[in-house]
Amino acid sequence: MMKKDLIYTLILALSFCSCSSQEKKALDHFLGEVTPGDSAILFAPNKLNHPEGYHSSLIITNDFKEVYFSPMTRYCEIHKIVDFENSGASEKLLFTTICDAGDPILSPDNKRMYFLSFQPLEEDSLYRERIWYSEIIDGEVLEPKVVDKTVYDHPTHWQFTVASNYNLYFTSEIESEENQNIYLSQYIDGKYQEPIKLPEEINTEYMELCPYISPDEKYLIFARSDNTTEKTDLFISYKENDKWSKAMRLPNTINSKGNDLCPVLSPDKKYLFFISTREGTSKIYWVKANFL
């Protein structure tokens, strides 16, 4: 081995040793997958290659032991990866009391799984997506409940998100399907309150959708589609002194000429996962979250 190669090897070894224990857990869980830098790359392309693509990003538990996603199938589905090391195989998560479930999201404490379902309600027979949740006890996902009427009165679609205090950020189509905006419903005394439209620093005359809120509600990553590009890009806004900053578009090392949406951070906040159509079919990408 040449001297410069030996030096390079030592630098790599030292870099790995300097990783935090939480990041090592993440790298160990992903079993040798090439980790990204500042530019987004495909995640596990030889294992996660669902023929119809993906409708959600990866949802990872805090201990990095369980991973969920929704494929781009005709009906809503939640899949749990059961064999990442060898094949990336997954199995469908089934509930006995509802017909379908998709686009999962975990509360930061991992005590609830929220998701979307078209399951009809006795008190509201309209066929549309509503937000549901299941309590998680000892690793078991229990039978689901629909969220409060204050929220499901809002037509919604695609990814939503939950903060540590269970405040709910979601896409509302209450104005029209062509005018999607992001709303907040605060969770107070075990009930979701009347949703509030986020300010103009986030919501514009264009379409805003697929929000991801940080657990402490200090920043919001979301997708925006405007009539100049006719595609969705990822944006970020920060909150300071209860005021949101004007949303900024994430760099071209993350956004692309395709649709980029459904942002979710890994539990250690080291990586951003999202779906993109930059290669045609919607696939899962990841990038180091240095932009935070």
Contacts of 83 (CB under 8 A, 6+ apart): 89
Going by pLDDT thresholds of 50, 70 and 90, the confidence category of residue 171 is: very high
What pLDDT is attached to residue 16? 37
Give the per-residue SS3 of 182-242.
EEEECEECCEECCCEECCCCCCCCCEEEEEEECCCCCEEEEEEECCCCCCEEEEEEEEECC
Higher pLDDT, 13 or 229: 229
The answer to whether the CB of 285 falls within 8 A of the CB of 41 is: yes
Q: How many residues does the chain have?
A: 292
Task: Kindly report, residue by residue over 222-262, the tens digit of the pLDDT.
Answer: 999 977 777 999 999 999 999 999 999 999 999 999 999 99
Average pLDDT over residues 3-9: 43
Average pLDDT over residues 163-173: 97
What pLDDT is attached to residue 228? 72
The predicted model scores a pTM of 0.88
Antiparallel, parallel or unpaired: β 248-249 and 219-225: unpaired
The answer to whether the CB of 156 falls within 8 A of the CB of 173 is: yes
Task: Kindly report, residue by residue over 15-44, the tens digit of the pLDDT.
Answer: 333 444 554 444 455 656 888 999 999 999
Mean pLDDT of the chain: 87
Range with the poorest average pLDDT among 91-100, 160-169, 201-210: 91-100
CA distance 63 to 86: 20
The answer to whether the CB of 114 falls within 8 A of the CB of 130 is: no
Task: Kindly report, residue by residue over 267-285, the tens digit of the pLDDT.
Answer: 999 999 999 999 999 999 9
What pLDDT is attached to residue 29? 54
62 has pLDDT over 70: yes
